[in-house]
Structure 1
Amino acid sequence: MKFINPYLNFNGNTEEVFTFYRSVLGGEFAMVMRFRDTEGCEHMPEDEKDGIMHIALPVGSSVIMGTDVPKSMEQVVNGTSVSLCVHMDSREEADRIFNGLSEGGKVTMPMEDMFWGDYFGSFFDKYGIQWMISFSTQDYSKM
């Protein structure tokens, strides 16, 4: 296996969420597809056709992807079963990303040195997504 990319589902605000993520994390969208431009979605309600069918934001060697869940499907309920864990290249970068993404959200653990050796913090962003930000001099790819 080469990598795993997180895929996030939202109840109609995917574009807003990903625009916010791009403003903090940087980069450009690799893809933005709307339901109205996708074959097979012609019969969707008109008020859902401008929703995001698929969006992709490259972040380092990963890609965060997402979609709007149509109202005809079971709606998303944010929970605590998944976190996006981002490993940064420096303490300064970890602080910048932590502060940017946690703005308007709920910090569950502020950035601090941890007993396992990482500089680490966690939070829920203002959209209810759980994040863990970490900086370490350890090479996790060899674990």
Structure 2
Amino acid sequence: MITLNPYLNFPGTTEEAFNFYKSVIGGEIVMTMRFSDMPDDQTPENEKHKICHMSLQLPNGTMLMATDTLESLGQKLTPGNNFYLSLGVQSTADADRIFAAFADGGKVEMPMENMFWGDYFGIVADKFGTQWMISYNSGQAQ
């Protein structure tokens, strides 16, 4: 079986982002590892509480994972448009609810609408800069 486990990088906002995603999509945070939990931790004292690895298991079993990228450790995050997370949902109501939550403080690229290929579909970047494609297809199991 092939699974897709998106891995996201945040500029120190992983925990806030995942708590937000959990409130919108559901699921359970199954792992939270802070930099202070790492052996031989070299993280500056004021960043030890930042997230080294976090996993959110979604209701369908998919795992969403992320880390805080820290410039103090030589990491550089450049938010960009090189990825989208495609979220298949169970109904138009779910699509509208999730899309509206992500659009609050975010930026709508394409509003939710019925598309020529049969999906109810929209694209939105949330307040953390993560780009989402929300899709519902009544003829397909999600």
Q: Same fold per TM (> 0.5)?
A: yes
RMSD in angstroms over aligned alpha carbons?
1.5
Secondary structure of the corresponding residue to residue 138 of structure 2 = coil
Cα deviation digits, residues 5-55 of structure 1 (max 9, x gap):
0000011111111111111112220111111012131x2211111110110
1:61-119 deviation line (CA, Å, top 9, x unaligned): 31110001122223211111100000001111111111112211000111100011100
Is 1:112 the counterpart of 2:113? The answer is yes
Name segments (4+ residues, structure 1) moved above 2 Å: 137-141
Residue 40 of structure 2 is aligned to residue 37 of structure 1: no
Match of 1:48?
Answer: 47
Alignment gaps of 5+ in structure 1: none
Q: Distance in 2 between matches of 1:138 and 1:53?
A: 40
**Residue 57 in 1 paired to residue 66 in 2?**
no
SS at match of 2:29: coil
Q: How does 1:1-143 map to 2 (within 5 A)?
A: 1-41=1-41, 43-59=42-58, 60-71=60-71, 72-139=73-140
Measured in 2, the distance between the counterparts of 1:140 and 1:81 equals 28
Kindly tell me the number of residue pairs found equivalent between the two proteins.
Answer: 140
TM-fit CA distance, 1:139 = 3.7
Structure 2 counterpart of 1:87, which letter?
Answer: G
TM-score by length of structure 2 reads 0.92
Matched residue type, 1:39: P
SS across alignment from 1:30: strand
Answer with 66-75 or 3-12: which moved more: 66-75
How much identity, in percent, do the aligned residues show?
47
Structure 1 residues 138 and 76: alpha-carbon distance in aligned structure 2, compared to 1, 3 A threshold: farther
SS in 2 for 1:101: helix
Tell me the SS of whatever aligns to 1:121. Answer: strand
